[in-house]
């Protein structure tokens, strides 16, 4: 990729895509989700006494000669229905072939089970700046480590050919033109969600509804009333895991669902939006009202969409670009 820095992503059951970073010196390695839907890079601290930290990698500042204390500055990090707290620390940060000499991150001494994602030591490596700790992406721009203030995502159902690109766009990863939609708020990767359609019926949404294009989410997170309706329409029933499931034999015949961004429809077939894990076919429509500050006005659009559409996050344009993936 011209002028870009590719970072390989590991596909875990089509539900999470993670990479490995290191914090030195000497390097302490962690698996992280590159997450556009949360703020700050945060890492379990060696001081974590929670049972949920058992078996997970933990950062030990005393073992790093490049660690710089940031005093006792604390931040809280809203994450779904929980708000963990941590202390801001500073150290050298490596991802792919990029090295940031002074990256702030949050050492979290207490994690809940719901916060350490999916497996082993995965946590979010945020790519926005909603809390006043610049993200690794912001520091790549500030330190002129990348040629352009963009990063892009290409993910698939394969175990290979999944990668993020910092500082560039891979023209071989998509067909047609990239169409850009302006973000609605500085520092957040969210766009106006004007309309959806389901089974060829369009629904204009109220003004102010937005969608976060969330590289850290597996599904489509939306207000419960919408989720319940869509799940009923596809015949999904709540399974023993709490997720709604459909009969796998029906997936090919499920209705098409579309988002409208910037006036353009981005359709998903049933085979695109249903996630098959160990012979269970899981609906992507997850109701979560407490993620929306009581307003019900924000959706989170995750991997079921990103697999179909190559996505470019462009800080220079303050816009997100979409094109059909190949």
- Collect all residues with Cβ–Cβ distance below 8 Å to 22 and sequence separation of at least 6: 28, 29, 30, 93, 94
Strands 150-154 and 298-301: unpaired
Instruction: Determine whether domain 8-145 maps to CATH 2.40.70.10.
Output: yes
Give the pLDDT score at 185.
Answer: 84
Residue 323 falls in which region: left (phi positive, over 0), alpha (psi -120 to 50) or beta: beta
More confident residue, 52 or 32: 32
Give the pLDDT score at 324.
Answer: 98
- What whole-number distance in Å separates Cα of residue 76 and Cα of residue 86? 7
Q: What is the pLDDT of residues 317-326, one digit of tens each?
A: 999 999 999 9
Give the pLDDT score at 41.
Answer: 82
Number of helices and strands (H, E) in the chain?
4, 27
Give the position of tokens 């497996």.
119
Give the pLDDT score at 130.
Answer: 53
Give the pLDDT score at 87.
Answer: 86
Give the pLDDT score at 117.
Answer: 38
For the chain, what is the mean pLDDT? 87
Q: What is the pLDDT of residues 129-171, one digit of tens each?
A: 555 678 899 899 999 999 999 999 999 999 889 999 999 999 9
* E-state strands within 77-170: 85-95, 98-108, 123-128, 150-154, 163-166
More confident residue, 165 or 241: 165
| Whether the domain at 8-145 and the domain at 170-325 fall into the same CATH topology | yes
Give the pLDDT score at 293.
Answer: 46
pLDDT band at 294 (very low <50, low <70, confident <90, very high): very low
* Residues labelled as active-site residues: 35, 214
Mean of the pLDDT values across residues 99-120?
65
Give the pLDDT score at 64.
Answer: 97
Check if the beta carbon of residue 42 is closer than 8 Å to that of residue 133: no
Alpha helices in 185-308 (DSSP H): 224-233, 270-273, 303-306
Give the pLDDT score at 1.
Answer: 52
170-325, superfamily in CATH? Acid Proteases (2.40.70.10)
Inform me whether the pLDDT recorded for 295 exceeds 80: no
Inform me whether the pLDDT recorded for 292 exceeds 50: no
Which strands sit side by side in the sheet containing 285-287, from one edge to the other? 190-192, 210-213, 298-301, 220-222, 285-287
Q: Could you tell me the two tokens for 265? A: 């429809």
Which segment of 38-47, 77-86, 244-253 scores lowest on mean pLDDT? 77-86
Q: What is the pLDDT of residues 10-30, one digit of tens each?
A: 999 999 999 999 999 999 999
Where does residue 186 rank: exposed (0-12), middle (13-18), buried (19+ CB within 10 A)?
exposed
Tell me the domain boundaries of the chain: 8-145, 170-325
């Amino acid at each position: 990729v011209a002028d870009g820095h590719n970072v390989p992503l590991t596909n875990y059951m089509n539900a999470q895509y993670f990479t490995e970073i290191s914090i030195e010196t000497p390097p302490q390695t962690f698996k992280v989700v590159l997450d556009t839907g949360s703020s700050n890079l945060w890492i379990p601290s060696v001081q974590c006494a929670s049972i949920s930290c058992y078996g997970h990698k933990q950062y030990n500042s005393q073992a790093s000669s490049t660690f710089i204390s940031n005093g006792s500055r604390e931040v809280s990090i809203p994450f779904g229905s929980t708000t963990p707290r941590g202390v801001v620390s500073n150290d050298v940060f490596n991802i792919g072939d990029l090295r940031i000499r002074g990256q702030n991150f949050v050492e979290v001494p207490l994690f809940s089970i719901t916060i350490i994602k999916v497996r082993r030591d995965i946590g979010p490596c945020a790519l926005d700046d909603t809390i006043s700790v610049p993200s690794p992406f912001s520091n790549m721009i500030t330190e002129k480590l990348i040629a352009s203030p963009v990063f892009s995502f290409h993910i698939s159902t394969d175990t290979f050919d999944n990668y993020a690109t910092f500082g560039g766009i891979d023209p071989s990863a998509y067909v047609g033109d990239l169409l850009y939609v302006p973000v609605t708020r500085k520092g957040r990767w969210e766009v106006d969600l004007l309309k959806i359609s389901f089974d060829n019926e369009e629904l204009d949404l109220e003004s102010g509804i937005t969608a976060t294009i969330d590289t850290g989410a597996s599904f489509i997170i939306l207000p419960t009333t919408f989720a319940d309706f869509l799940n009923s329409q596809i015949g999904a029933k709540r399974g023993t895991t709490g997720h709604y499931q459909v009969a796998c034999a029906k997936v090919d015949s499920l209705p098409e669902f579309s988002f409208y961004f910037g006036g353009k429809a981005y359709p998903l077939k049933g085979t695109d939006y249903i996630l098959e894990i160990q012979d269970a076919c899981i609906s992507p429509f997850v109701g979560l009202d407490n993620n929306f500050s009581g307003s019900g006005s924000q959706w989170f659009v995750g991997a079921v969409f990103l697999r179909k559409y190559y996505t470019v996050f462009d800080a220079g344009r303050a816009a997100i670009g979409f094109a059909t993936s190949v």
